[in-house]
Amino acid sequence: RTYYYQAIDSFKEWQKIYNSSDPLQTIKDHVEDKTVLVDRRNRFLDHLISRFAEQFSEFANIMHSSFNSSPEMLAAYKCNFINSYPTISSERGLAYNYTLSGSADIWNSNNISGLEKRLAKLLGISDSTRRNLSDVNYDIYVEIDTTPGDEFRFRIRDKLDGSILLSSSRHYATKLEAKAKMRIAILAGSQPSSYSRKIASSGKFYFNVMDTTGEIVARRIEYFDTEEEMEEAITEVMHYLQINYTEEGMYLIENILLRPEERGDPFLPICVNTEYQDCADADPYSYRIHIILPAYGIRFSNMDFHNYAEQVIRAEVPAHILPKICWIDKDDMVILERLYLEWLKLKCGKTKAKRRLKLRRFIRTLYRVKNVYPTERLHECSGDETQTKFVIGRKALGSFDSLSSTDHKRGQGT
């Protein structure tokens, strides 16, 4: 609540004044309804954030315009940022501790740099830990029925109480098909605009999740007595998907940590031909970092948010450090994260096996991965002005015949 109130019931026949057996609810409905509550809460949070010389206005704008995020969701992002401020402010200048060699300190770990933690909160990334970004644990189950060849379904369970939040709307012939449809359902279920609200013949409320074509891809097998209960369930599902099925995250790799430490260790690519202006990086180690992000993440695949994220990263990285930002596809991420894990184990001394080979592979892959961009085609000069524009450096040229708005092609690293 942002308004505080009380019912006065110390006088005789006080019920007649309120015309209700629950005067507190009557006052609440008139003083602070849901719209007023959310608006005032967001303004209070903006005020608290501004006390630390921070602001979320641009983040709120991009989330509302690109993902139709509700004021409740924006308030949740702000609360998360404020609650974590003691950590992200005190640890802002710290790197990850590469002397720790425990499994929980290397992977699936919160042993990351302060800059990564801060960027995650500023960008609304729910899980900032170092983990696999190329794979999400999909819960596919086999349903035994009398229909031959029609056996697979998916479901999304709450990890705490085991309740089913969403289920597939139909059966699928193969596990691969069910997994592909579940990914579409997760992508859709993470966005408020994908929910279709319905009223049953009994007068109760329920909802479905729709894909971009209007097809039902998931449903909640539950009826709600009130519209408010249904909306609370929708918000719960969206938050659960964004936290537990997110492919958003980043890897921050400091070039200085890749310097040779033993005889025979490989060097980073060093430019020795100074005759060409493009070949001027005599020192690839000092004050340089790589920031690797998944181009296929739910929000990261949106170019408006993609550009906003780059803007935030460049603003937050200290002025004397040059970041190389790469948005890579899932195939490259699978390879890179495996080699990255091997390098982390080498760095902390947990293993020394095949050291030179692992270092060479990691460095080669780190410099090989390229940015990927959404594909777009060129249009006729006489075409509609509302057609999507082809922007050099932000789009990849796709074929005329087969074009999908979700397709991505590789470009050069930033």
What distance in Å separates the CA atoms of residue 191 and residue 188, rounded to the nearest whole number?
6
Taking residue 24's Cβ as centre, other Cβ atoms within 10 Å add up to 13
Instruction: Please give the structure tokens belonging to residue 172.
Output: 């699928």
Q: What are the angstrom distances between the C-alpha of 15 and each of 11, 25, 26?
A: 9, 13, 11
> Per-residue confidence at 82, pLDDT binned at 50, 70, 90?
very high
Mean predicted confidence (pLDDT) in 260-270: 89
The whole-number pLDDT of residue 401 equals: 37
**Amino acid in the structure at residue 124:** G
- N-terminal to C-terminal alpha carbon distance within the chain: 45
Q: Is the pLDDT confidence value at 159 over 80? A: no
The whole-number pLDDT of residue 152 equals: 84
Give 36-73 pLDDT, tens digit per residue.
888 889 999 999 999 999 989 999 998 888 877 778 87
Lowest mean pLDDT among 7-21, 107-121, 208-222: 7-21
> Per-residue confidence at 188, pLDDT binned at 50, 70, 90?
confident
The whole-number pLDDT of residue 161 equals: 76
More confident residue, 9 or 138: 9
The whole-number pLDDT of residue 6 equals: 77
Most confidently predicted of 89-98, 133-142, 391-400: 89-98
What distance in Å separates the CA atoms of residue 93 and residue 89, rounded to the nearest whole number?
8
What distance in Å separates the CA atoms of residue 10 and residue 278, rounded to the nearest whole number?
83
Q: How are beta strands 322-328 and 288-294 bridged, if at all?
A: parallel
Mean predicted confidence (pLDDT) in 169-179: 83
Instruction: Say what percent of the chain tops pLDDT 70.
Output: 82
Phi/psi for 368 (5° steps) reads -90, -35
Give 267-301 pLDDT, tens digit per residue.
998 766 656 555 546 788 999 999 999 998 778 88
The whole-number pLDDT of residue 335 equals: 94
Taking residue 294's Cβ as centre, other Cβ atoms within 10 Å add up to 24
Total-model pTM = 0.72
Q: How are beta strands 216-219 and 205-210 bridged, if at all?
A: antiparallel
DSSP readout, 279-343?
---S-SSTTEEEEEEETTSTTTTSHHHHHHHHHHHHHHS-TT-EEEEEEE-HHHHHHHHHHHHHH
Asked whether 346 and 257 are in contact (CB, 8 A), the reply is: no
Taking residue 81's Cβ as centre, other Cβ atoms within 10 Å add up to 22
Q: What are the angstrom distances between the C-alpha of 357 and each of 264, 336, 339, 344?
A: 10, 14, 11, 14
DSSP three-state, residue 34: helix
Strand partners, 36: none
